[in-house]
Amino acid sequence: MGMLRLATQLVGINLLVIAGTLAGGIVLGLAPAASAGRSLTAQLGAGSPSSAVWGEFWAHWRSYFRRANALALPFWAAGGILLLDLLAMQSATGGLRAALIVALVVGGAYLLVALTYAPMVIGDYSDPWAASIRFVVLAPALYPLRGLAILVVWAAVALVYATFPPLALLFGLALPLLLTGWLTASALAPREASAVHAGP
C-alpha cells in the first residue's frame, strides 16, 4: 500500500507540474511549477504526504510565481547560450568542434546541477535575489561530490524513462524532484545554509 500511495502521489504531482507549466505559458510556468512540485515531493519523501495536493500546489505556484521567474531568468539565458553552442557545433569542424562539444557537455551538466537546487531555494528561502542566485550558481562548485550524485540520479532516471517510456509519461519531473530533493536538502542543512543567508 505504501508503494501504491507513493506512485499515485507522484503521478498526481507530475500532472500538476505539467498543468502549472502550461498555465504560465511554459516559460513563465516551469519554475513555479517545479518549485511547487518539489515542495510536495519533499513531504512525500519525508513520509508525510500532503492530503491536499491540488490546493497546496496551486497555493505555492501563485505565492512564488514572481520569485521563481526572477530566479529562473539567468538560467533561461544560460540555456540560450548552450543552444547557440549546439547550433554552432553543427557547422564547426576539427578542434573548434571538439571545444564546442566539451563546452556543451560541461556547461550543460553544470547548469543541470545548478537548476536542481533552484526549486528548493525558491520555495524554502526568502533571501534577496542576488544571494539566492549566487548560491544556486555556486552550489555545483561548492559541493562537487553531491553534484556528481545529482548527475547520476538524473542519468539513472533518464535511462529508466528511455527503457520504459510509459514511466516518463506517468512520473515525469516528479520522480527526479523526489530523488534529487534529498541531495539538495543536505546541501542546505543549517551548517551549510550560511552560504545562502550571507546576503548580497
**Taking 90 as the threshold, does the pLDDT of residue 132 lie above it?**
yes
Q: What is the pTM of this model?
A: 0.88
pLDDT reported for residue 125: 86
Dist CA 24 CA 156 (whole Å): 29
Percent of the chain with pLDDT over 90: 71
Measure the CA angle with vertex 129, ends 155 and 133; round to 5°: 30
Residue in the block written with cell 548552450: 82
Note the pLDDT of residue 109: 96
User: Higher confidence at residue 127 or residue 13?
Assistant: 13
